[in-house]
Amino acid sequence: MAVRGRYAGVMERTTRAVAQIPAVPEDLDATDAEKATGRVELPLHVRWSGPLRVYDLGDRRDRARVYEQVLREGNDDDVRRFIRVDDLIDLWDELVLPRHVRRAWAEWLERHRGVSVPC
* pLDDT tens digits, one per residue of 73-95: 999 999 999 999 999 999 999 99
Region of 35 please: left (phi>0), alpha (psi -120 to 50) or beta.
Answer: beta
Indicate whether 7 pLDDT > 70. Answer: no
Tens digit of each residue's pLDDT (9 = 90 or more) over 28-50: 988 677 899 999 999 999 998 88
Indicate whether 118 pLDDT > 70. Answer: yes
Taking residues 54-73, what's their average pLDDT? 98
Q: Characterize the bridge pairing of strands 39-41 and 54-56.
A: antiparallel
Contact 57, 81 (CB under 8 A): no
Integer Cα distance of 90 and 53 in angstroms:
24
Listed in sequence order, the DSSP H helices in the chain are 8-19, 60-73, 76-82, 85-91, 99-113
Average pLDDT, the chain: 87
Indicate whether 112 pLDDT > 60. Answer: yes
Indicate whether 1 pLDDT > 50. Answer: no
Rounded (5°) CA angle 91-93-97: 90
CB atoms within 10 A of CB 91: 17
Region of 114 please: left (phi>0), alpha (psi -120 to 50) or beta.
Answer: left
Reported as a pLDDT band with limits 50, 70 and 90, residue 13 is: very low
Contact 28, 22 (CB under 8 A): no
Residue 32 is classified by DSSP as -
